[in-house]
Structure formats: C-alpha cells, structure tokens
Amino acid sequence: MAPMKRQKFKNFAVCLNNKGYQAALELRKIYRVMRDAAAAAQGLVRVVDESGEDYLYPASYFAPIELPTSVRKALSATR
C-alpha cells in the first residue's frame, strides 16, 4: 500500500468530518490552521476549534483551502 500523501495546510481548512468531535468541530465550517510540523508528521493538524483554543485533530478530517487575501484578513481578525 502506498503511503498517504501528507496534505499541506497553510492558513485555513474546511472541516469534512467531525466524528468523535461533534462538540468541538462543525461540518463544512472554515477553521484557522496553526503550523505544527511535529503534528503534521503524525498525520494531525492543529486548528482553532469552537472553544477558541487550538487543538490537534486528524488531518484527514480537513481539506486545506486557499482564500482571497481580503477574506483571509477578515477571518484572521475575528479570531
């Protein structure tokens, strides 16, 4: 079996799965991603969840997204 390609997360990602984390993650919501190379090596991604704090979740639960600069700035300012 070929190794799973590690996704490159930059600033934001959309939640595709919240199984086991329904209180912390909303499906189809955009979350801010914090860079964490050690977590990425473990197949995890660090996101700021509904609590307003950053936590590690399976990277497979998210898809990285590119946003226009104006949207990135607006979302970053509100968190």
Above 90 in pLDDT, residue 50? no
CATH of 12-72, one of 2.30.30, 3.40.50, 1.10.3470, 2.60.40: 2.30.30
Q: Where are the domains of the chain?
A: 12-72
Task: Say how far apart CA 57 and CA 37 lie, in whole Å.
Answer: 14
Give the per-residue pLDDT at 1. Answer: 40
Above 70 in pLDDT, residue 10? yes
Above 60 in pLDDT, residue 5? no
Above 50 in pLDDT, residue 4? no
